[in-house]
Amino acid sequence: MQEQIEKLKQEIQSEDVSNKELLESFRIKYLGSKGAVKGLYKELKTVPNEEKRAAGQLINSVRELAEEIFNNQKEAFEQGPSEDYSSFDWSRPAQEFKLGTRHPISVVRKEIIDIFSRIGFTVSEGPEIEDDWHNFSALNFPPEHPARDMQDTFFVEKGEKEMALRTHTSSVQVRIMENQKPPIRTISPGRVYRNEAISARAHCFFHQVEGLYIDKDVSFADLKQTLLYFAKEMFGDKAEIRMRPSYFPFTEPSAEVDVSCSICNSKGCNVCKYTGFLEILGCGMVDPNVLEACGIDSKVYSGFAFGMGVERITQLKYQVNDLRLYSENDKRFLEQFKSAF
């Protein structure tokens, strides 16, 4: 038996346990319930009584050897690579350091802000949860206006004061008019919410930049020139705009603004649906009712306002054809804006 044990010890010491799978095979082979050590203990029953003690000790030493190899190697695997760098390959390439990319909505919002900052507009922000006054009433929405319907707006609290998720950032500009004296020249970027079924063309939230300019003698010509400047800065010097009459409760007169299609030079293509123009924003002269509601004398002051969807501008600049892409966080989409800043 002594000879058999010596052979076994040598075998144990020469086993390859250099990875986790091999170590597990080692454990099963020697220390498992059907392993070699168990086998030896069974054989011990056949050993004559007077030799039992010595044989038992020998078997114990085999078990201890196998356990020591197993435990040491297990610990080594758990601790990971050792601190010993003497055999470390210093020429190995460094681990890649990945920089994220700015979200396309952030890229375009920043660009819009930069464009208006250059002609003296400040940036104003306000709460996303608004009361009825700042989101609707001050903006000349009649009590029965459909936007006030549960189906169009998210109401977040019923109680003493009903609150809603703002449906536009005009609410920020109402607060500015209430708290500042003209001249006022500001843009309000921010997220707005509408209760809509999510599809390629609609989402329950989007991003707006609204603009407001109030002073003495502000005219529709100022509005037109400001928006032409914006279109040229945003879409290139060749850009032209056209205005179509429209309606908003808070402006009178109101207009939709289209920019000439840069893809076909207004010759007509499937992007502009063969019209040569693409809709980019809505605008108008601030309704006197709105000025008065906000404490500004409409006989002394006039102003213009406009509102645009950042998603819409981004769609035109980068040909993004599905609104859902903006909030799905698909890296294959986001990484395409690596070079934008």
Strand pairing class (184-193; 122-123): parallel
182 binds ligand 2NL (CB under 6 A): no
Is residue 266 within the footprint of ligand 2NL (CB under 6 A)?
A: no
Amino acid identity of residue 270, one-letter, is N
Task: Work out which of 167, 170, 266, 302 binds ligand 2NL, going by CB under 6 A.
Answer: 170
The C-alpha angle with vertex 283 and arms to 162 and 320, in degrees rounded to 5, equals 90
Cα-trace Rg, the chain = 37
210 touches ligand 2NL by CB under 6 A: yes
> Which residue in the set 153, 167, 173, 186 belongs to the binding site for ligand 2NL (CB under 6 A)?
173
Contact pattern for ligand 2NL over residues 274 through 293, marking x by CB under 6 A: -------xxxx-x---x---
Of 8 and 212, the one with the shorter C-beta distance to ligand 2NL is 212
Q: Give the amino acid at 330.
A: D
Pick 182 or 307: Cβ nearer ligand 2NL: 307
Among 26, 30, 306, 326, binds ligand 2NL (CB under 6 A): 306
Nearer to ligand 2NL, 182 or 284 (CB): 284
Give dist(CA 275, CA 197) in Å, integer.
28
- One DSSP character per residue, 232-250 reads HHHH-TT--EEEEEEEETT
* Residue among 245, 315, 328, 318 at smallest CA distance from 280: 315
* Complex with ligand 2NL: residue 213 or 337, whichever CB lies closer: 213
- If you write DSSP's letter for every residue of 227-290 in order, what string do you get? HHHHHHHHH-TT--EEEEEEEETTEEEEEEEEEE-TTTTTS--TTTTTSSEEEEEEEEEEPHHH
Binder among 308, 313, 316, 323 for ligand 2NL (CB under 6 A): 308
Q: Which residues contribute to the site for ligand 2NL (CB under 6 A)? A: 170, 173-174, 208, 210, 212, 248, 250-251, 281-284, 286, 290, 305-309
